[in-house]
Chains A and B, each alone.
Chain A
Amino acid sequence: MKQVVCKIDELGPGEMKPAQLGPIRVVVIRAMDGTLHGLAAKCLHQGGPLERGRLYDHTVASSDVGEYVMDSDREILKCPWHGYEYDIRTGQTVFDETRCLQTFTVREEGDEITVELGVPGAAGQAGSARASA
């Protein structure tokens, strides 16, 4: 099962678009480094529509009380409802890495972005693809 999401130039870094893959609602995200990622768009908590959430190019991190550090190694999709934070690359929640959204393979094919079933990077699949310049 494969679905065209949009034209390549319609999804810039730090942006996301919804797609419907059969019965599954998917959100396709382009990270700040240009890579593409696909996550199930139904929040693991109460099913909030993740494509209506907020993308952040960083995680707020710190080990010291009162200190806020922007860690740009980890980009986050925050649920529009109660704010569960998901790592856009792995689908894992920040508070518990065992709770994980289903991920999908996203590719650039011709001038289009497609999303399909399958684990990114699995054998025989391109996985998350870097945008061509």
Chain B
Amino acid sequence: MTAVRAQPLVSQAKTQDVRIIDTDVHERAELYSLLPYLEPKWRKYITDFGWQPDRVLPYAQFAAGGLDREDAKLPDGRPGGSDYNLLREQLLDEYNIDYAVLTGWLDASALAPGWPEFKTALMSAYNDWQLENWVARDERILGSVHVNAHDPQNAAREIDRMGAHPEFVQAIVYIGDKAYGDPYYHPIFEAAARNNLPIGLHHSENSPTALGFHRYFVEWHTLVPQVFMSEIVSLIFNGVLDKFPTLQVIMIEGGTTYVPHLMSRADQQYKELRSEVPWVKRMPSDIIREQFRFSTQPTEEMSPEKFLALIDGVGSEDLFCFSTDYPHWDFDSPWEALPAGLPEGLQRKIFFENAQHLYPKMPALRAR
């Protein structure tokens, strides 16, 4: 009989029982399910007038299931992330996740700035919905405070309000087409620092490339790191990290491989052009190492040697935090996304220790 050549089930996380903190998990709301949490005066704009979030991305997503993993969509047609039981089964239980940090769906910061009052109210409703339907339901699930960045003073108040909740561990700001280093947005960062919450920055379907929206989705998706580089550069050179030296920022869903290039180039520019931004007191690469973290997904297939060269390129083992992006199509499997054979200490840092340090409010890992 032909010998069976079973395909590799290489599973560092699985075989070594590594603890896992997932820093990017997308729960999904239906707009109508937010109504009970929305102040009554705003409800008719959804129920009667049909408000919908604006979406600029002009493409279909060419994966098997569109935006979602095909197997994460609900049989009744609801999108992935809509159902707690399925999320628990496919993510929390399947991979024995210790903590999952929710990163959401609807985020006003990524939308065009108009009508800030409504969107600020909508974000408060979203946070209350998130708390009741997800965070309160499973001790492994931790929340993110969503805000409307285009209404910075009220965004700061929302961070104060929800940041007081012990299981909301970060404030999240989605990226549209605005550079958040502008002092106009600083109240948001100030509030995050005041509440000892990291800021998560996550791209969106309204994040353009440097040349807007090209002809094809594959172009846009290849170039997603551009918008992360834009935000990092904006925050550094507009002095946000110097102004709020305790602030931590995690860049969510841009991947990791752009980071060495950005560090090197920003350092060189700083050496040459520092006098334009005298409020920046440290080398950009040092600011990045001290105050930025990066979620790992979407990973690129690479050898352990190449991955270790990436770690070498950023000069630290402390920057990358594992994430799956469940339930989206470019989900990274905890068992397979990182190359096999990485040093155990590095795996521990990426899978959970770096995230533990990033999120001061995250509870200790429970004994297994």
* Contact surface of A with B, Cβ cutoff 8 Å: 1, 22-24, 40, 42, 44-49, 52-54, 78-83, 102, 117-119
Separation of A80 and B69 alpha carbons in the complex (Å): 6
> Smallest distance from the beta carbon of B69 to chain A beta carbons, Å?
5
A22 contacts B4, CB within 8 Å?
A: yes
Contacts of A119 in B (CB 8 A): 2
Partner pick for A1 among B1, B69, B332, CB 8 A cutoff: B1
Residues 64-112 of B contacting A (Cβ, < 8 Å): 64-65, 69-71
Q: A81-B69, A83-B64 are in contact. Are A47 and B6 (CB under 8 A)?
A: no
Q: A1-B4, A52-B71 are in contact. Are A78 and B336 (CB under 8 A)?
A: no
Contacts of B329 in A (CB 8 A): 81-83
Chain A-chain B contacts (Cβ-Cβ < 8 Å), number: 65
- Interface residues of B: mostly helix, strand, loop or mixed? loop
> Smallest distance from the beta carbon of B280 to chain A beta carbons, Å?
39
A-B contact pairs, 17 of them (CB 8 A): A1-B1, A23-B4, A24-B4, A24-B6, A24-B7, A46-B337, A53-B64, A54-B70, A80-B65, A80-B69, A81-B70, A81-B329, A81-B330, A82-B331, A117-B1, A118-B1, A118-B2
Partner pick for B301 among A42, A45, A54, A118, CB 8 A cutoff: A45
Partner pick for B336 among A46, A52, A79, CB 8 A cutoff: A46
Separation of A24 and B1 alpha carbons in the complex (Å): 16
A83 contacts B2, CB within 8 Å?
A: no
- Known contacts A1-B1, A47-B9, A102-B7; 14 additional CB pairs below 8 A are A24-B4, A24-B7, A45-B336, A46-B335, A47-B335, A52-B70, A80-B71, A81-B329, A82-B63, A82-B331, A83-B329, A102-B5, A117-B1, A118-B1
Nearest opposing residue in chain A for B73, CB measure: A80
A82 contacts B5, CB within 8 Å?
A: no
Q: Please, what's the 1-or-0 string for B46-66, where 1 marks a CB less than 8 Å from any CB in chain A?
A: 000000000000000011110
> Smallest distance from the beta carbon of B246 to chain A beta carbons, Å?
36
- B153 near A: Cβ within 8 Å? no
Separation of A45 and B69 alpha carbons in the complex (Å): 14
- B333 near A: Cβ within 8 Å? yes
Contacts of B64 in A (CB 8 A): 53-54, 78-81, 83
Instruction: Give the size of the chain B interface in residues (CB under 8 angstroms).
Output: 23
Q: A23-B6, A24-B4 are in contact. Are A80 and B70 (CB under 8 A)?
A: yes
> Smallest distance from the beta carbon of B215 to chain A beta carbons, Å?
8
B331 contacts A81, CB within 8 Å?
A: yes
Separation of A27 and B6 alpha carbons in the complex (Å): 14
Q: Please, what's the 1-or-0 string for B2-15, where 1 marks a CB less than 8 Å from any CB in chain A?
A: 10111101000000
Separation of A1 and B332 alpha carbons in the complex (Å): 33
Contacts of A118 in B (CB 8 A): 1-2
Separation of A22 and B6 alpha carbons in the complex (Å): 10
B70 contacts A53, CB within 8 Å?
A: yes
Contacts of A24 in B (CB 8 A): 4, 6-7
Contacts of A22 in B (CB 8 A): 4
A83 contacts B63, CB within 8 Å?
A: yes
> Smallest distance from the beta carbon of A21 to chain B beta carbons, Å?
8
Contacts of B63 in A (CB 8 A): 81-83
Separation of A60 and B95 alpha carbons in the complex (Å): 34
Nearest opposing residue in chain A for B62, CB measure: A83
Separation of A52 and B7 alpha carbons in the complex (Å): 18
A40 contacts B7, CB within 8 Å?
A: yes
Separation of A117 and B4 alpha carbons in the complex (Å): 7
Separation of A47 and B301 alpha carbons in the complex (Å): 13
Contacts of A82 in B (CB 8 A): 63, 329-331
A42 contacts B333, CB within 8 Å?
A: no
Contacts of B330 in A (CB 8 A): 81-82
B7 contacts A44, CB within 8 Å?
A: yes
10 residue pairs, one from A and one from B, having the closest CB atoms: A80-B70, A52-B71, A46-B336, A83-B63, A46-B333, A54-B64, A78-B64, A80-B71, A80-B64, A47-B336
Separation of A24 and B63 alpha carbons in the complex (Å): 25
Nearest opposing residue in chain A for B11, CB measure: A47
> Smallest distance from the beta carbon of A95 to chain B beta carbons, Å?
12
Contacts of A42 in B (CB 8 A): 7, 9
Separation of A53 and B73 alpha carbons in the complex (Å): 12
Separation of A46 and B8 alpha carbons in the complex (Å): 10
Contacts of B70 in A (CB 8 A): 52-54, 80-81
Separation of A78 and B332 alpha carbons in the complex (Å): 17
Nearest opposing residue in chain B for A85, CB measure: B64
